[in-house]
Amino acid sequence: MANTQRVVFTFDERSLANLKDMVEQGQFGSMAEAVRESLAVNRALQQQSRQRFTEVVVRNPDTKQERVMVLPAVHSIAKNHHADTPMHVAARGGEVDAMQWLKEQGADVNAKNNIADTPMHLAAGAGHVDAMRLSFELAANKAKVCFIGTPTKDLTFTPRLWENMNRKEFLLTGSWMSYSAPFPGEEWELTARCFADGRLKYDPAMVFRRFPLERVKEAFELFKEPGRVKGKVLLYNE
């Protein structure tokens, strides 16, 4: 018989409730058995993340449906060419549970990748309303939340969530699309006129580099080196 050692775990109320659900739904014989199984699964996922895998695919054998899930590791998940953090990856995929777990582990919900996108930018841009709603809960006091993209479902607020938003006093902003019907619309010309006459202003710090169109290949080469691009890259026609 293998040597054993007695270990005492302390769970907060929420974690204990989750553990009880695991015992019931997973038909485990005890909480200890559920913890052992969870540790085995976590160890397997950590082994995959150390090999630079960032996602796993789960499959329903009855319906054949598949779902991509983010590996639950904070520091060991490999970053992509945009230098995304695990929170970026979870937000892009609309993985609300993973986002909440990462937040509890201390992940930065306001972290920027090398093209200045935050996880909430990616969640909104992908149209994941659940992830968008979670951004209100994760935002700190006086935080700034910006939504981009086109949601595909209604975004509603519970009274509790609305009260939480008020108490945090954070700033929510949006963004306008760069096209309209008939495509591409007049937005580009209108923007150019507003820049020219001073009606539209922007922070020059947003633009990392400027390239004429004939050097567009050079501009895209910057993105091959993670962390090199520190903002937006502007292409212009001389």
- CA 53 to CA 31: how far, in whole Å? 30
- CA 45 to CA 68: how far, in whole Å? 14
- What integer pLDDT is reported at residue 16 of this predicted model? 75
Under DSSP, is residue 4 helix (H, G, I), strand (E, B) or coil? coil
What are the C-alpha distances in Å from 19 to residues 14, 25, 31, 33, 230?
A: 9, 10, 7, 11, 42
- Give the HSE-up count for residue 122: Cα atoms under 13 Å, Cβ half-sphere: 25
User: Cα(first)–Cα(last) distance of the chain, in Å?
Assistant: 78
- CA 47 to CA 88: how far, in whole Å? 21
- What integer pLDDT is reported at residue 211 of this predicted model? 93
- What integer pLDDT is reported at residue 9 of this predicted model? 65
- pLDDT < 70 positions in the chain: 1-12, 14, 46-54, 68-82, 124-127, 148-152, 176-177
18 closest CA partner among 29, 39, 34: 34
Q: Look at the block and give the residue holding tokens 């996602």.
A: 55
- What integer pLDDT is reported at residue 51 of this predicted model? 63
| CATH class of the domain comprising 69-175 | mainly alpha
Strand partners, 56: 69
- CA 56 to CA 70: how far, in whole Å? 6
- Please, what is the angle between helix 31-50 and helix 13-25, to 10°? 100
Residues 6+ apart with CB under 8 A from 54: 70, 71, 77, 78, 80, 86, 89
Residues 6+ apart with CB under 8 A from 19: 11, 31, 34, 35
Domain ranges within the chain, ordered by starting residue: 69-175, 182-238
